[in-house]
Structure 1
């Protein structure tokens, strides 16, 4: 067939358009060959359906003819014309259903899902932090069906019925021009009503789709934070808030249904008029001797079929506009331009053995806000050189810019000014993927994929052997508790699944899995953001030796609020309001009696709040 799912790898890589019809065409144009086949088959099926009333007319004329005999079945027209038409019509129907089921429905759906998911994954971290993960996943998964179903409705209803009406009008006019008059008047009124109602229905359904998304987002937010809800006993309040969202959802749905009902009422009136006038005119023409009884009989089933099809068209077009509202909302969510993109011709970052020199050159970043220097929470014209292999600790109060500096190194955001250079290579000129694969990160909140322990440990290096994976787990002091794990599906040990975001494991267990993952990844640059904060003292003491070995020969940037965990670093950098205010070793900074000394005395001497103030 002209369309195969394997062709999705050659699909367009650029962003989908940000306007509805170009957005739809972006995907439809990839299956043009398949659509051409479907349209031809639909036309053939519609033409066959039109011929059925015509053949009934032939049969009636044959029966009424003076030369007709009782052996009507032996007449040549039945075998030479009617039988081939009916057989061809049946064959086209069977082929049409087969292609829809086996070459269109699932495959086109998955083509859209694949491309939406691929494009969504390319968005920056800021994009994901500003939305619900469940909402984005829903847009990607439902986007395929939301685009597939309207297209099929247009082909199977609008195109089919349009072709049937056209063929019927042609057949009527062939026998008598006036026979087509009621149908043409009905068709004009039907189209006019669609032109009037459908834009209004679409606007109401788009509003309903947005209310639906808000409802799903609210429920998802509550369920994702169920621990907080129960901790504060807020079930009743959240239920009341959910009821308010449901009322808005119901009101918007009712408004759309009311407009659809008005459209249906107008169509019913026009259908009744067609059923009364078309047969009456046919009988009048027959009585006047202008047409045969067979032609008069032909008009009645044609009118009846058109009336039945009008309801089908109305239902399908209403569904089209309802799903197009979902498509439009999907487009608004996903088809946004990337905020962080690879430079044209970007190459992979290369770090030579023993390399990993990191330089921040006059870096400034304000999260896109118009802040003044010294407002805090930003990076202000910061310059810092970290030689290859040096172990550096970042220190500062909350909001000083420590995590922001790390996020800029990982290029989760683009700089507003300045440069970040690794081994002489500007990170804005290398691919994001190569940059992040050479920087291993352990954070305070280490989430895991809902997959097996083995898959999570090997996520940064999937080609690693089982022996290497087990060695990394032992070095992270995770092997023993992993062996004791069981999941509800019967998976045990390294095959056990960890639940969504690793919820089946404790914080300390998740952190040890994350440390094992970093050990196995073996990247030349290491970032530790509160890497041992979730570990108890005994496990932390046991793992410190492995962490020290892991840092050897690697450029290491460590963030910790417990200064004792990073006091042994080669160098300590103290940040305050996005600026470097102190730089030196532990003893040197204590001797300066600055911010570091104050923080150290506070932690080692019992929270000397007055002194810090």
Structure 2
């Protein structure tokens, strides 16, 4: 086996190149030994194919020479030359197809997809925030075929036909120099037409592929948010918008097809000229006695094969440039440099038992515009429970994202137990921080897999205990899916759609309980729970926070008023810091927010 696409031993590291041909070579070089074998086999098959008209010519000459005896089968060339050539040609064909179907097509495809998927997962949260998930997934999956297919076309069409053309011209020159003249002229014009038309087709095809991506993105966006479309009765408007995208898509496709049609028309004229000129020249030379009847007959199947191959080359060349346009778009989407990377000397974060102190030291950050956080300093001792409070846009979630290093700081540093998080691996950092967010989407897997996602080695008893503590065990036992699986083995559907918001929240809390990380982040962790369930789970949440450094965000201030410390943010700065009673006594922003709450929620 030339390579193993799963282990990927010796696979190139780092990002794929951002230019087309280096991007192609990045993957091709990993299977160059296999490609060399295929190129040799393709050349052998082409040589065998080119020899068939020659053998037909030999047969015609022998038939003419043996007209009286009718003893053609005893001629030695038939068994000593023709038979081995045909057997070898068939053997090379079988071996070539076997390698294509058992090694090249499935394995090279998966190698590309695996490496693209592996690299894509390393992109920052900002990358995924600016791209459609469906578009990214489509480019990762499509990238395998988009690179595999043109490479096979080059080998099976361009290389094969090129070798056949050389063999044909060489054979004609061997018998009569002038016989090759029409073919040489035809090849020159044919290759020139490819160089003229194909780059134009590629440019138009790339534009069409971008229209196609926009169309798919629009359709995906509508279906992904079908609830909003139905709620506001916007089906007619979305259908009209879809029609506009389809018209743009169709117009760009017609422009690309027009270039391909003109190339085909040009080739048809050239093919007709070749089919008229070469046989006529061969017959003229036969009449003059310059060539035998076998050679004259040999020319006809040779040029007919060339004409047939010209259509094959045109089709494959068009397909190559079509798929290369898809490769370019895939490259533009995926092969961007990572914006958040581990340093070359990054080490694993270490948090000793009882540790987990967090310090934001003079940090600054923006999302590409005005500063969201400016000169912020905050020290949270290990084990302290801190509530982050502020109006929407005050910077609460930004602090959490920066602590998780979803984004890199513009200035300052964040320390955990004295270790700058910019100098530790992202993997080790996030394994020490457990997070429950307001929107807890689940993977389309079983309940057990979702709860144990942070600890896949956990036992079933540990999973059950975490679910019990999150008050989730009772509803989990009632679940079933379309395959008949029940309880912890039931699938939850895409993004956990089969569960209610509160059920998803409890599964997420169970996942955090099982993860048992020293630092805990609660971002509206109980917002999706009804009052009864929230009251039941509050004690468990308090127990979960015990001994852990905790950052809790909540708009309903009553849920975090009991914490050790409350930090009030406004426009990216800390404006108040203290316990609930102290902040009320100061009669500042926190006291205003507390007084203005209605039903326990924070006013504007």
For 1:54 and 1:116, locate their aligned partners in 2 and report how far apart those are by CA, in whole Å: 48
SS at match of 1:10: coil
The Cα shift of 1:5 comes to 2.8
Task: Name 1:140's counterpart in structure 2.
Answer: 140
CA-atom RMSD, angstroms?
1.3
Task: Name 1:584's counterpart in structure 2.
Answer: 578
**1:435 matched to 2:429:** yes
For 1:495 and 1:219, locate their aligned partners in 2 and report how far apart those are by CA, in whole Å: 33
**1:52 matched to 2:61:** no
The Cα shift of 1:2 comes to 2.4
For 1:208 and 1:69, locate their aligned partners in 2 and report how far apart those are by CA, in whole Å: 66
For 1:514 and 1:305, locate their aligned partners in 2 and report how far apart those are by CA, in whole Å: 65
For 1:450 and 1:10, locate their aligned partners in 2 and report how far apart those are by CA, in whole Å: 33
The Cα shift of 1:3 comes to 3.3
TM-score (norm 2): 0.99
Distance 1:73 1:4, change over 3 A: farther
Equivalent positions of 1:467-486 (< 5 A) are 467-486=461-480
**1:307 matched to 2:307:** yes
Equivalent positions of 1:164-563 (< 5 A) are 164-369=164-369, 371=370, 378-563=372-557
For 1:536 and 1:559, locate their aligned partners in 2 and report how far apart those are by CA, in whole Å: 18
**1:85 matched to 2:85:** yes
For 2:229 and 2:598, locate their aligned partners in 1 and report how far apart those are by CA, in whole Å: 36
For 2:127 and 2:598, locate their aligned partners in 1 and report how far apart those are by CA, in whole Å: 40
TM-score (norm 1): 0.97
For 1:535 and 1:292, locate their aligned partners in 2 and report how far apart those are by CA, in whole Å: 94
Q: CA offsets, 1:47-95, max 9 Å, x none?
A: 0000000000001111112686312111111000000000000010111
Q: CA offsets, 1:137-194, max 9 Å, x none?
A: 0000010000000000000000000000100110110111111000000000000100
Equivalent positions of 1:89-108 (< 5 A) are 89-108=89-108
The Cα shift of 1:602 comes to 1.5
SS at match of 1:69: coil
Q: CA offsets, 1:261-291, max 9 Å, x none?
A: 0000000000000000000111111111111
For 1:7 and 1:569, locate their aligned partners in 2 and report how far apart those are by CA, in whole Å: 48
For 1:381 and 1:490, locate their aligned partners in 2 and report how far apart those are by CA, in whole Å: 56
For 2:69 and 2:591, locate their aligned partners in 1 and report how far apart those are by CA, in whole Å: 117
The Cα shift of 1:11 comes to 1.1
**1:571 matched to 2:569:** no
Distance 1:117 1:215, change over 3 A: same
SS at match of 2:376: strand
Equivalent positions of 1:152-163 (< 5 A) are 152-163=152-163
Task: Name 1:375's counterpart in structure 2.
Answer: none
Distance 1:66 1:602, change over 3 A: closer
SS at match of 1:384: strand
**1:603 matched to 2:576:** no
List runs of 5+ in structure 1 lacking aligned partners: 373-377
SS at match of 1:516: helix
Aligned residues: 604
Q: CA offsets, 1:386-406, max 9 Å, x none?
A: 000000000000100000010
The Cα shift of 1:606 comes to 8.7
Q: CA offsets, 1:582-612, max 9 Å, x none?
A: 0000000000000111111122689997xx8
Asked if the contact 1:201–1:321 (Cα under 8 Å) also holds between the matched residues in 2, the reply is: yes
For 2:599 and 2:199, locate their aligned partners in 1 and report how far apart those are by CA, in whole Å: 71
